[in-house]
Amino acid sequence: MSGSQLGPIGDMPASQVAQAARLVQAGEMISLSAVRFPGMPLFPGHPPFQVLNYRTPRGIRVTGAQPWGPVNDAGLGYMAEYVMATSHSGAHMDALAHMTIGDDMHWYGGGAADEHLTDFGPVHGDASSMPPFFTRGVLVDAPTFRGVECLPKGSPIDAAEMEAICAAQGVAVRPWDVVVIRTGYMGLWPDAERMAAHKTPGPDLSAAQWMLERGVVAAGSDTETFEVQPAPDPGPEGNPQPVHTRLLIENGIYIMESLDLEELARRRIYEFLFVALPVKIRGATGSMVDPVAVL
């Protein structure tokens, strides 16, 4: 698939993969995802996460089901389940078709609702075309920089602060990087009441532009919306998510949300190999991911 349909990461050279692999020294992996469970906190516009049994050993026995034919003397059973959830549950990555704008409801790479949106999801820029991510990751730890546990509700992180945090941490963002921004929000997980009191800090439009100018291929944060809400810079048309518009729709920069960055921050790890493998589901507008930082 052409880079124009994948976003800038589609043009990432193989040498960047090899260079990123050289970041690994100890062989240690840190998960950047919290456990998903029924009733977990989610962005209010998404359906709830649910796990339902479809087959159980007891159910097979009570109903007399015969998945293997006649009942076996070994008493062998199994369990299988439905997972009913949005692909935007917990730690996840937005596909390029996730967000649309304009009267024609268009999205990155030439996708538009009238031409590419079916009853089974988009056929252009959906999750089936999402690439693997194996590149340098950089943590931007805003609460540690400010000397607080968690940023206040609706607190923006602007370009100047992004630059100052990186300088204080001794790291520089480079082309092909994935930048993950900590607000401290996942440090409150899964206490919905405490989390509600801190919704939703994050990068503003100037920070998005700062990342674009440095050539990132993806960005993520530990909140459900990535960007600061409500938007301090919605523009004359009142766009509620100008950062998603600038990064995802206009420039094909993948966005991740609800990342667990607490362990990285606790250990002051600011540079690492970032690995995430989106699940290729046709028609899905994103993918749950369990990314890892490899040290």
Residue 50: count of CB within 10 angstroms of its CB = 14
- For residues 78 and 155, state if they share a domain: no
Contacts of 293 (CB under 8 A, 6+ apart): 29, 30, 32, 137, 264, 269, 272, 273, 274
Residue 190: asked if its preceding bond is cis (omega within 30°), the reply is yes
What 3-state DSSP class applies to 210? helix
Q: Does residue 40 belong to any structural domain of this protein?
A: no
**Claim to verify: residue 113 and residue 66 sit in the same structural domain:** no
State pTM to two decimals: 0.95
What is the model's pLDDT at position 7?
A: 95
> What is the H or E stretch that residue 276 is in?
strand 271-276
- Residues 195, 104, single domain; the answer is yes
Rounded to whole angstroms, the Cα distance separating 281 from 86 reads: 12
- Where b means 16+ CB within 10 Å and e means fewer, 17-28 reads eeebeebeeeee
Q: pLDDT tens, 229-260?
A: 999 999 999 999 999 999 999 999 999 999 99
Question: 278 lies in which domain range?
Answer: 3-35+88-294
Q: Are strands 29-31 and 111-112 parallel, antiparallel or unpaired?
A: unpaired
Answer yes or no: do 235 and 252 share one domain.
yes
Residue 189: what residue type? W
CATH number at residue 228: 3.50.30.50
**Residues sharing a CB contact under 8 Å with residue 148, sequence separation 6 or more, in sequence order:** 184
Token digits of residue 204? 């503003």
Query: Which residue would you say has higher pLDDT here, 3 or 87?
Result: 87
Nearest to 80 by CA among 50, 56, 58, 49: 56
Provide the number of structural domains found in the chain: 2
Output the six-digit token pair for 113.
Answer: 């609702």
Q: Does residue 93 sit in the same domain as residue 73?
A: no
| More confident call, 81 vs 64 | 81
Q: State the average pLDDT for the chain.
A: 96
Q: Within this chain, do residues 177 and 222 fall inside the same structural domain, yes or no?
A: yes
CB 184 within 8 A of CB 149: yes
- pLDDT tens-digit map of 128-161: 999 999 999 999 999 999 999 999 999 999 999 9
Answer yes or no: is 64 within a domain. yes
Residue with tokens 């009441």: 193
Same domain, residue pair 168 and 69 = no
Q: Are residues 74 and 100 in the same domain?
A: no
283 within 8 A of 118, measured Cβ to Cβ: yes
In a domain, 45, yes or no: no
Contact 249, 109 (CB under 8 A): no
Asked, for residue 57, whether it belongs to a domain, the answer is: yes
The answer to whether residue 101 is domain-embedded is yes
Nearest to 85 by CA among 282, 248, 284: 284
CB of 90 within 8 A of CB of 33? yes
User: Is 44 inside a domain boundary?
Assistant: no
**Are residue 108 and residue 78 in the same domain, yes or no?**
no
**Is 41 part of a structural domain of the chain?**
no
The answer to whether position 272 is within a domain reads: yes
Q: What pLDDT shows up at residue 4? A: 63
Q: 263 and 175: one domain?
A: yes
Read off the pLDDT of each residue in 178-199 and give the average, rounded to a whole number.
Answer: 96
76 and 95 together in one domain: no
Q: What residue has token string 């209010």?
A: 44
Pair 16, 54 in one domain: no
Which amino acid is located at 218 in the chain? Answer: A
pLDDT at 2 over 60: no
Average of per-residue pLDDT across 159-174: 98
Q: Is the pLDDT of residue 58 over 50?
A: yes
